[in-house]
A and B are shown apart, each in its own frame.
Chain A
Amino acid sequence: MRLPSVDHSATSGSSWLHRASISDKVSLPLTGFGVAAISASPVPLVSVYAVLMIVAWSASLPLARIVMATILPVPMVGLYALSHWQSDWSVIAVILAKGMVTVEASLLLMLTTPAPDLLAGPTRWLPAILSQSLVLTYRAVFTLWDRLASVQRAIQVRGGIRHRRAHGFPWEAYGTPLLRLPRVGGIIVGMAVIRAIDLSATYDDALRLRGYRGLMHPTRRDGARRFPAAFILWGGCASIVGIATAVRLMGWDLAG
């Protein structure tokens, strides 16, 4: 999923999950990770996927985008699963479902937490060089998106990617032939990189002049934790992981 749309969702939402403290929301990826690590049957994984979808729906998150984001890695994960083919479709289903659940759980955290809150923790305990690079990475993503989006618009107004003259434009649009695309792409990337490095260096200098020492501060204090959200998230995490562990230990073959 594209970082700008993730950032927009995190900063513009006001649901109970958006308002929940990050120390409570960490339970979401932990739930996905825990269930994926423990489960050996597709049924618990599919159930957790559905539960996390209900959580996303209750927080008014873009469900279609989340589903798409969880499906996108499927071809590559599927190839891996087929490489371990043992005449058992449930093994393939488990490998695919593990991938989808962990992507979904991580996205729920990212889609409801503004970047300063996400980065505040790591900037305190990571080595300075890592934390400063992380903050500048976050900033640079938006710079690069802007550059690449404007180039994409430029290609579109030139008639898009085609070999013949494009019709329907109020100007002469000859298009960009497909074979020229790698060359055009290389120049675009080169321009974007040079410009972004210049901007990033200026941004870093400006931050330092204003007293930045590599620490990010969260948008709100963790003391603002709300009881129902903490109870729902941590209680849900413990219950789900507990049930998944019980299913595995008891050897219940829920698939049939």
Chain B
Amino acid sequence: MTHIMVGDGVLPWWLSGAGILAAVVLVTIASRQVTRTGSRRAIPATGVMTALMVVVMSIEIVPIGYELHGTVLAGIILGPWFGAISSLLFNVVRAFLGDGAITNIGLNTVVTWLEMAVGSMVFSRLRPFAYRGRASLCGGIATAVSLSLSTLVFLAIIALSGVEPASAVHTGSFDVATGTFDPEIHSGGLVEVHLPGSGEHPEATVAGLTPFTWFAFATLFLGALGWAIEGLVTGVTVGFIARIRPGLIGLSAGSDGLGRPTE
């Protein structure tokens, strides 16, 4: 499970704001979709899957700093639209009980939803195999694909958090008299704007690599171990549900997925 675990006021405001905006748009569309389809019966399942993520959140695999969350399982059971609602609720609860970062709820909602939506989509593509007794494998593959993709998105967000858009687009205030740009348009106080390359801190490197590159390597390495564990648990869970209550994950009992009855 990937989420941005930093306090308020650490990420740039434009990034947190963009995340909140994206989450509002996502949840609005999702609310309309689920209201239109009228599938009220999925609300208890949404509550349960959100609660499952809250409960599993407290299980951390300490040596690799990885938290299991069951997001892909939730995505497979709920689908992408109820998944968006579940994602928002989960991140609100997590902000108040775990990470405290209220301003990151938007970004985390989008990343968590991505895990759910991709997991749901991959599993639905693999459904014909799931009908042939390979539900566990399909669940595991959906989990691995979904988590690896969301980790890349997570790394992209972290990389973006080091960018100050002002430094990329501002060239300073234009001085009509001289026809040049004044480089120091704002400095000090709560707002600081720098010119490209005028950063006060030149980027440090360790063994020739930037700290972010090391961070990306560490995240991908430790994350891969976590994906394997989460993929295994999700796969077994999906396999179990496929045997006991196949309708819950979109498999109908007594069918091979192509409308033909099984023996």
Which residues of A are interface residues toward B (Cβ below 8 A)? Answer: 1-3, 6, 29, 32-33, 36-39, 69, 72-73, 75-77, 79-88, 95, 97-107, 109-110, 127, 129-130, 132-141, 143-145, 148, 182-183, 185-187, 189-194, 196-197, 200-201, 203-204, 248-249, 251
Residues on A with beta carbons closer than 8 Å to the beta carbon of B60 = 72
Q: Which of B107-115, B231-239, B255-263 lies at the binding interface?
A: B231-239
In the bound assembly, the distance between CA atoms of A102 and B88 in angstroms comes to 19
Residues on B with beta carbons closer than 8 Å to the beta carbon of A103 = 7, 98-100
In the bound assembly, the distance between CA atoms of A106 and B88 in angstroms comes to 17
Give the number of residue pairs across the A-B interface with Cβ within 8 Å: 239
Contact with A along B34-67 (1 / 0, CB 8 A): 1100000101111111111011101010000100
B197-232 interface with A by 8 A CB criterion: 201, 203-204, 206, 211-212, 214-216, 218-219, 229, 232
B89, CB-defined interface residue at 8 Å:
yes
**Known contacts A137-B47, A145-B55: does B97 contact A193 (CB below 8 Å)?**
no
Is B248 touching A95 in the complex (CB atoms < 8 A)? no
Instruction: Kindly name the residue among A1, A80, A105 whose own CB sees the greatest number of chain B CB atoms within 10 A.
Output: A80
Which of A69, A137, A200 is B93 in contact with, Cβ under 8 Å?
A137
Residues on A with beta carbons closer than 8 Å to the beta carbon of B58 = 1-2
A173 to chain B, nearest CB (A): 23
**Known contacts A88-B201, A186-B237, A189-B73: does B85 contact A83 (CB below 8 Å)?**
no
22 A–B pairs (Cβ distance < 8 Å), ordered by A: A1-B58, A33-B9, A33-B102, A37-B9, A73-B5, A77-B5, A79-B65, A83-B158, A86-B201, A102-B100, A103-B100, A132-B43, A137-B47, A140-B48, A143-B51, A182-B236, A189-B52, A189-B73, A193-B241, A200-B45, A201-B44, A204-B44
**Known contacts A137-B51, A186-B240: does B10 contact A95 (CB below 8 Å)?**
yes
Is B236 touching A185 in the complex (CB atoms < 8 A)? yes
In the bound assembly, the distance between CA atoms of A61 and B248 in angstroms comes to 41
Residues on A with beta carbons closer than 8 Å to the beta carbon of B55 = 3, 141, 144-145, 148
B189, CB-defined interface residue at 8 Å:
yes
Residue on B nearest A33 in the bound complex, by CB? B8
Is B100 touching A104 in the complex (CB atoms < 8 A)? yes
Residues on A with beta carbons closer than 8 Å to the beta carbon of B85 = 129-130, 133
Residue on A nearest B4 in the bound complex, by CB? A80
B173, CB-defined interface residue at 8 Å:
no
Is B188 touching A251 in the complex (CB atoms < 8 A)? yes
Residue on B nearest A133 in the bound complex, by CB? B46
Is B236 touching A197 in the complex (CB atoms < 8 A)? no
7 smallest CB-CB distances across A and B, nearest first, come from A186-B236, A136-B47, A83-B215, A102-B100, A98-B7, A99-B7, A103-B100
Which residues of B are interface residues toward A (Cβ below 8 A)? Answer: 4-10, 27, 31, 34-35, 41, 43-52, 54-56, 58, 60, 65, 70, 73, 77, 85-86, 88-89, 93, 95-103, 158, 161-162, 188-190, 201, 203-204, 206, 211-212, 214-216, 218-219, 229, 232-241, 244-245, 248
Apart from A186-B234, A187-B240, list 20 A-B contacts with CB within 8 A: A1-B98, A3-B55, A29-B102, A37-B9, A73-B5, A86-B204, A88-B201, A99-B5, A103-B100, A106-B100, A129-B35, A130-B88, A137-B54, A138-B51, A143-B51, A182-B232, A190-B240, A193-B48, A201-B41, A204-B44
A137 to chain B, nearest CB (A): 4
In the bound assembly, the distance between CA atoms of A80 and B214 in angstroms comes to 11
Residue on A nearest B96 in the bound complex, by CB? A106
Instruction: Kindly name the residue among B65, B95, B233 whose own CB sees the greatest number of chain A CB atoms within 10 A.
Output: B233
Is A102 touching B188 in the complex (CB atoms < 8 A)? no
Residues on B with beta carbons closer than 8 Å to the beta carbon of A72 = 60, 98
In the bound assembly, the distance between CA atoms of A160 and B125 in angstroms comes to 39
Residues on A with beta carbons closer than 8 Å to the beta carbon of B233 = 182, 185-186, 189
Is A83 touching B51 in the complex (CB atoms < 8 A)? no
B36 to chain A, nearest CB (A): 11
Residues on A with beta carbons closer than 8 Å to the beta carbon of B240 = 186-187, 190-191
